[in-house]
Copies of this chain bind each other. A is one copy, B any other.
Amino acid sequence: MAALCWEEFYRENPEPKHISFVKSQITEFCEKYRREQIPVVLVTSGGTTVPLEHNTVRYIDNFSAGTRGAASTEYFLTHGYAVIFLHRSKSLEPFTRHFPSSSLLEVLHIAHDHHGKDCIAVASDKVKDLLPVLQAYQTTRSSGKLLILSFTTLSEYLHMLRVAAEALQPLGRKALLYLAAAVSDFYVPHENMAVHKIHSSEGPLNLQLQLVPKLLQPLVRFWVPDAFVTSFKLETDEGILLEKAYQALQKYGHKLVIANQLHNRKQKVVLVSQEKQVPIVMTEEEMRQGKEIEEKIVLELTSLHTKFLHEIA
């Protein structure tokens, strides 16, 4: 059976309850930066879940910690962009990702302030690394240039993506889309989900998953026709990666596919456009120093976006 067309998908999968609040937040954010002539990037990040039951106990998930989106957001901010960070709930977030809660208690010390009262402080040998992060976080917060929104399910994500894209439309070419979320290709249609937890006493489980329609198509064609749209292609099989990237460019007509492989995605990506392939590679030395490939990706991307803005200037 073929995938539903995207209009049907939206009709059959109900909007999240808070969608109108999300819409007003995003619209206000985009309008502010449109007036100030500041470019806005929508970063999507993390995986989507596909619930198998209405009262959800089980779901299908996509592997994604959200490092790519969270790290890239920090670099977009340093390049002057306003960022809508649309991420999977509990996946990594910009700035906070540097303070992993699992090791946090190891770096917190009990001390005394100058009144002799108990206080809690970050160990002095960690301050050097964490201070710039905390400062950047506080600067960003007071600038208001980062809007953080979260989703969990595939359906929530797709509804929020449409709302965000429509709000970005008035920005024209100044809108950049950086679609790094790992979106499921398959889902269980709303009307086919079990109401209660599926029991093992019912025997082996046979799941029929439908194809998710490709939303990149209406996004590029109707929602943000002037924007600079970038998508990601992740494969585990190198042999088909670039071919898949070109197929996507051809099919959807957007500007760029960032192609990467699961096992070395932190060392190498290829920016694939109709005109050329630009490989971005981290050296061993850069990896040792803890540098991140997202810094290079965002540098290249903002430079391409600036050229794109000047093409019609």
Q: Which residues of A contact B (CB under 8 A)?
A: 1, 49, 52-53, 55-63, 90, 93, 95-97, 99-102, 104-105, 108, 110, 114, 117-122, 124, 127, 130-131, 134-135, 137-138, 182, 184-186, 196-200, 203-212, 234-237, 262-263
* Residue contact A237 to B196, C-beta cutoff 8 Å: yes
* Partner among B49, B61, B104, B204 whose Cβ is within 8 Å of the Cβ of A209: B204
* Residue contact A120 to B110, C-beta cutoff 8 Å: no
* Partner among B60, B99, B118, B204 whose Cβ is within 8 Å of the Cβ of A1: B204
Chain B nearest CB from A125 CB (Å) reads 12
Q: How many copies does the complex hold?
A: 2
Shortest Cβ distance from A205 into B: residue:
B209
In whole angstroms, what is the CA distance A52 to B138 when docked?
Answer: 41
* Residue contact B197 to A236, C-beta cutoff 8 Å: yes
* Residue contact A120 to B131, C-beta cutoff 8 Å: yes
Chain B nearest CB from A37 CB (Å) reads 29
* Residue contact B99 to A93, C-beta cutoff 8 Å: no
* Residue contact B60 to A60, C-beta cutoff 8 Å: yes
* Partner among B49, B186, B197 whose Cβ is within 8 Å of the Cβ of A204: B186
In whole angstroms, what is the CA distance A97 to B102 when docked?
Answer: 9
In whole angstroms, what is the CA distance A48 to B203 when docked?
Answer: 19
* Residue contact B96 to A118, C-beta cutoff 8 Å: no
Given contacts A58-B63, A59-B63, 14 further A-B contacts (CB under 8 A): A57-B62, A57-B234, A57-B236, A61-B61, A97-B101, A99-B101, A110-B138, A118-B127, A120-B122, A120-B130, A197-B236, A200-B212, A203-B211, A204-B209
**Inside 8 A of A93's CB, which chain B residues have their CB?**
101-102
In whole angstroms, what is the CA distance A83 to B208 when docked?
Answer: 41
**Inside 8 A of A137's CB, which chain B residues have their CB?**
105
| Contacts known (A101-B104, A134-B108, A186-B204); A121 close to B118, Cβ less than 8 A | no
* Residue contact B127 to A119, C-beta cutoff 8 Å: yes
In whole angstroms, what is the CA distance A179 to B127 when docked?
Answer: 39
Shortest Cβ distance from A236 into B: residue:
B55
* Residue contact B206 to A209, C-beta cutoff 8 Å: yes
In whole angstroms, what is the CA distance A248 to B198 when docked?
Answer: 17
In whole angstroms, what is the CA distance A101 to B95 when docked?
Answer: 10
* Residue contact A60 to B57, C-beta cutoff 8 Å: no
A and B contact pairs by CB, cutoff 8 A, 30 listed? A1-B203, A1-B204, A49-B61, A52-B60, A57-B63, A57-B262, A58-B60, A59-B61, A59-B63, A60-B60, A93-B101, A93-B102, A99-B105, A101-B101, A108-B122, A108-B134, A110-B134, A110-B135, A117-B124, A118-B131, A119-B127, A120-B127, A120-B131, A186-B200, A196-B235, A196-B237, A197-B237, A204-B209, A206-B206, A206-B207
